[in-house]
């Protein structure tokens, strides 16, 4: 039965949705467009419309840009900011110590802080890394139904080195189409963590020789489980694009990762960060 809500409307630049689990692991979402926020869990089963006004603002400098780069940046910011450099995607390529970091102070604040190497189950078993403060947000953004930390390391580069090593045994990718279909078998992540750490202990020991015994530490926290507000998963995943279809509307069937699941298709809101839209719910 469709939700019965009074119509609500807001206008602003899209940002990635806020996501947080409640005490039972149910993920709670808020859509953000400028100053406007909407409780999306309350909108499941109700009509939702996004209408792009043809304007994009850089998520960093706020200037108007004809094209978005790196999830919402203008081209100058994309080329200048350290957060848009290749080493963010491949942290093992960190070049801070070569003196070529785009923003050394930003790197020191974001890359030289504790990071976690983790396992997650989004479309199957995967390995990933994130800042320690970004768990469980990172798992939720990937649509993971389970997540477990494996290692705590001192820097992002070290996390990348450990991830590259573990990629010999487990993927670092999420199949987003599989993730959105909702047919994800639960895994024994505690056992998978123990198996992988035992297998790669010699290689981890070598990393500790390089970076110090305390730089790479095993974590034994239990796995976490998450459920997403989805009424109906799509049988066929049809991707929606604001640039091709500036007005996207349909009944909101669910939310998973950073995707809205409408009865007309799915849209990755994070991809359109900085796009100025009008939002109508209910």
45-90 per-position pLDDT tens digit = 999 999 999 999 999 999 999 999 999 999 999 999 999 999 999 9
pLDDT at 3: 46
pLDDT mean over 87-111: 97
Q: For residues 16 and 33, give the distance between their C-alpha atoms in angstroms, rounded to a whole number.
A: 9
Q: Is the pLDDT of residue 154 over 90?
A: yes
Sequence spans of domains, the chain: 8-75+228-281, 81-225
Residue 187 burial (10 A CB sphere; 0-12, 13-18, 19+) = middle
Residue 35 phi, psi (nearest 5): -80, -10
Q: What is the pTM of this model?
A: 0.93
pLDDT mean over 252-257: 98
pLDDT mean over 118-145: 98
Give 27's strand partners.
21
Average pLDDT over the chain, rounded to an integer: 95
Q: For residues 259 and 268, give the distance between their C-alpha atoms in angstroms, rounded to a whole number.
A: 4
pLDDT at 32: 97
pLDDT mean over 36-42: 96
178-197 per-position pLDDT tens digit = 999 988 999 999 999 999 99
Give me the helices (H) in 35-188, please.
Answer: 75-80, 86-89, 104-110, 137-141, 156-166, 176-181
pLDDT above 70: percentage of residues in the chain: 97
Q: Within 13 Å, how many C-alpha atoms sit on residue 179's CB side?
A: 29
pLDDT above 90: percentage of residues in the chain: 95
pLDDT at 216: 96
Q: Is the pLDDT of residue 7 over 80?
A: no
């Amino acid at each position: 039965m469709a939700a019965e809500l009074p119509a609500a409307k807001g206008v602003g630049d899209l940002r990635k949705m806020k996501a947080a689990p409640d005490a039972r692991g149910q993920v709670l979402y808020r859509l953000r467009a400028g100053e406007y926020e909407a409780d999306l869990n309350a909108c499941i089963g109700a009509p939702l419309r996004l209408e792009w006004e043809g304007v994009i603002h850089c998520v960093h400098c706020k200037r108007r840009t004809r094209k978005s780069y790196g999830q919402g940046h203008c081209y100058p910011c994309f080329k200048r900011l350290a957060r848009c450099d290749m080493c963010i995607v491949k942290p093992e390529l960190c070049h801070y110590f070569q003196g070529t970091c785009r923003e050394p102070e930003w790197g020191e604040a974001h890359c030289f802080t504790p990071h976690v190497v983790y396992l997650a189950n989004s479309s199957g078993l995967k390995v990933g890394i994130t800042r320690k403060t970004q768990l469980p947000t990172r798992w939720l953004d990937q649509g993971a139904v389970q997540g477990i930390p494996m290692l705590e390391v001192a820097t992002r580069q070290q996390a990348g080195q450990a991830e590259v090593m573990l990629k010999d045994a487990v993927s670092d990718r999420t199949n987003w189409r599989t993730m959105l279909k909702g047919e994800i078998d639960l895994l024994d992540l505690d056992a998978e963590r123990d198996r992988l750490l035992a297998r790669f202990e010699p290689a981890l020991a070598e990393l500790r020789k390089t970076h110090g015994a305390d730089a790479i530490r095993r974590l034994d926290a239990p796995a976490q489980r998450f459920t997403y507000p989805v009424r109906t998963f799509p049988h066929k995943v049809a991707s929606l694009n604001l640039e091709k279809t500036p007005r996207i509307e349909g009944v909101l069937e669910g939310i998973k990762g950073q995707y809205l699941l409408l009865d007309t298709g799915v849209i990755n809101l994070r991809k359109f960060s900085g796009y100025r839209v009008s939002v109508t719910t209910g």
